Amino acid sequence: MRATCSRNRLSELLRCRGQGQWQFQCPYQLSPARGMTRGRSVKERSKKKRVHALEVGIERWKVLSKVLTVVEALKKEEEHVTPLKRLEILRPQLGLVKPHKVAHFVRRSPHLFEVCRDSRGVMWAGLSPQAEALVEEESRLLEEHSPTAAQYVTRMLMMSVDRRLPIDKIAHFRRDMGLPHDFRTRWVHMFPEQFRVVRLEDGEYLQLVSWNPNWTVTELEKKAAASAGDANASPPGELSLPFPMKFPPNFTSYYRFRGKAHHYVKTGNTEQFQKITYLSPYAEAKGLTPGTPEFDKRAVAVMHEILSFMLEKRLVTDHLTHFRREFVMPQKLMRLLLKHYGIFYVSERGKRLSVFLTEAYDGTELIEKCSLVRWREKLLQLTGYRGRMKNIGKFDAFSDSEDYLLGGDDDAVLDIESENSDDILDGCSISDDSEMDLGDTDELCRD
């Protein structure tokens, strides 16, 4: 098709030349309606901006996220034990492709998961005593964190344009905000003085009940007030606070490509952007005009505030883009995140991009860690993937594959459902009476 169009165009140009109408045209002038453009993906735009320390953090989070998926699936089972074949339903969530199996994944962490064969030859997986202790500790920590999580959810409702948010969308933040596992069923009804569940035609929403003026102070304002010694709350309005910016040690403001200088951060534009006054995320924003500097500056403030609510000050970018309408943010949100490099850092590792609040990190570590973050670190220490977690920083550009988690071809991956797996079971057995009703498997897929 493309070759045919080229020949037709060439014939037309030759015809014009024969009629005396020939004049030289640059390639981008051949189509007067639209010039040729060269699109660049996010990876191509940001590959020269990579911060190695934060990329290491993404690798750790990927391992932890997959382990938590298996742990939460086992927690929903009676006595926290289930047949291994039933866990195969988690394969898409773990990102495993054949020939890798969930059984391989589970066997890599013997300190977290135990595998046994019953008298009928059925393979079972369950939580180890150490994992059981961690599960109990997590339940206690989530209960203690509930008031703080409720405050953050309420403040998100206060930032939204309609003072309500779909529960399905808030559920995306469950792990990142430290919301409990019964978030949809019980937790949303535990704070009736702050929010309530309302049912509309398109689903269930969480509706703001009361406006708390003390919660309209942004996290950025709190830090500025703490350094200045002034903590007086004021009604939400225009702000002029600059956003903290942090760059890696090897950062340069520009780089050269094919002889041309391409800027990471234009110093003059950055200084001008920092001086622009903007509406508080908690102020009414319906009157703002999209595309204006004030609109973009407020969108940066909203994203900064939301990331400040997260346990690890990090989010999958999809979770932010889902709230463009509710928080009055631009349609091309990713472009804004990439533009303000220094305030945010976007990692393109894996199939889903992640955004960091750069000021919250010192190298690979969070500067301020809550109890739930420390709990996750303890869980991560019990994982055994590749057996070299201390070298997790030594990854290549394509370490998002299952080989990174499962040890690759160099490791002798053992199919524990084969006849040769008896040597790792150590005589462990489960009686016939302990067989569980497999029932419906949809519960395992539920977040």
Same domain, residue pair 172 and 56: no
pLDDT of residue 360 exceeding 90, the answer is yes
C-alpha closest to that of 313 among 105, 438, 173, 198: 173
Q: Can you give the three-state secondary structure of the chain, one letter per residue?
A: CHHHHHHHHHHHHHHHHHCCCCCCCCHHHCCCCCCCCCCCCHHHHHHHHCCHHHHHHHHHHHHHHHHHHHHHHHHCCHHHEEEHHHHHHHHHHHCCCCCCCHHHHHHCCCCCEEEEECCCCCEEEEECHHHHHHHHHHHHHHHHHHHHHHHHHHHHHHHCCCCEEEHHHHHHHHHHHCCCCCCCCCHHHCCCCCEEEEEECCEEEEEECCCCHHHHCCHHHHHHHHHHCCCCCCCCCEECCCCCCCCCCCCCCEEEECCEEEECCCHHHHHHHHHCCEECCCCCCCCCCCCCHHHHHHHHHHHHHHHHHCCCCEEEHHHHHCCCCCCCCCCCHHHHHHHCECCEEEECCCCCCEEEEHHHEECCEECCCCHHHHHHHHHHHCCCHHHCHHHCCCCCCCCCCHHHHHCCCCCCCCCCCCHHHHHHCCCCCCCHHHCCCCCCCHHHHCC
Neighbours of 404 (CB within 10 A): 18
Interval 310-331 mean pLDDT: 90
Same domain, residue pair 112 and 220: no
Residue 400, domain member (yes or no): no
Please give the pLDDT value at position 305. 96
Residue 390, domain member (yes or no): no
Instruction: Check the CA dihedral 180-184-189-194 and report its sign.
Output: positive
269-278 pLDDT, tens per residue?
678 888 889 9
Same domain, residue pair 118 and 151: no
| Least confident residue range of 15-29, 272-286, 369-383 | 15-29
Interval 60-72 mean pLDDT: 87
Same domain, residue pair 181 and 61: no
Q: Which residue, 131, 149, 176, sits at the end of a domain?
A: 131
Please give the pLDDT value at position 310. 96
**Which residues are paired to 113 by β-bridges?**
127
Please give the pLDDT value at position 16. 53
Structural domain for 362, as ranges: 132-227+237-383
pLDDT of residue 55 exceeding 70, the answer is yes
Please give the pLDDT value at position 304. 95
Q: Which residue, 131, 146, 173, sits at the end of a domain?
A: 131
Same domain, residue pair 100 and 217: no
* 385 vs 291, residue with greater confidence: 291
| Least confident residue range of 145-149, 272-276, 289-293, 407-411 | 407-411
Angle, alpha carbons 79-80-82 (nearest 5°) = 105
Mean pLDDT of the residues in the chain:
75
Kindly give the interhelix angle for 219-228 and 293-309, rounded to the nearest 10 degrees.
80
Same domain, residue pair 111 and 141: no
Please give the pLDDT value at position 166. 94
77 pLDDT band (50/70/90 cuts)? Answer: confident
In the chain, how many domains are there?
Answer: 2
Considering the entire predicted model, what is its pTM? Answer: 0.74
Please give the pLDDT value at position 36. 32
Same domain, residue pair 296 and 308: yes
Give percent of the chain above pLDDT 70: 68
Please give the pLDDT value at position 232. 59
| Least confident residue range of 107-111, 311-315, 384-388, 411-415 | 411-415
Please give the pLDDT value at position 396. 41
pLDDT of residue 200 exceeding 70, the answer is yes
Residue 215, domain member (yes or no): yes
Please give the pLDDT value at position 285. 82
Interval 231-247 mean pLDDT: 79
pLDDT of residue 443 exceeding 70, the answer is no
Q: Which of 74-83, 203-212, 243-252 has the highest mean pLDDT?
A: 203-212
Distance CA 17, CA 95 (A): 58
255 pLDDT band (50/70/90 cuts)? Answer: low
Please give the pLDDT value at position 440. 36
Please give the pLDDT value at position 168. 92
Interval 126-139 mean pLDDT: 93
pLDDT of residue 7 exceeding 70, the answer is no
Q: Which residue, 111, 131, 151, sits at the end of a domain?
A: 131
The CATH number linked to 97 is 1.10.10
Same domain, residue pair 60 and 181: no
Residue 213, domain member (yes or no): yes
Same domain, residue pair 199 and 72: no
pLDDT of residue 124 exceeding 50, the answer is yes
Q: Which of 11-20, 222-231, 289-298 has the highest mean pLDDT?
A: 289-298
Same domain, residue pair 273 and 339: yes
Same domain, residue pair 126 and 60: yes
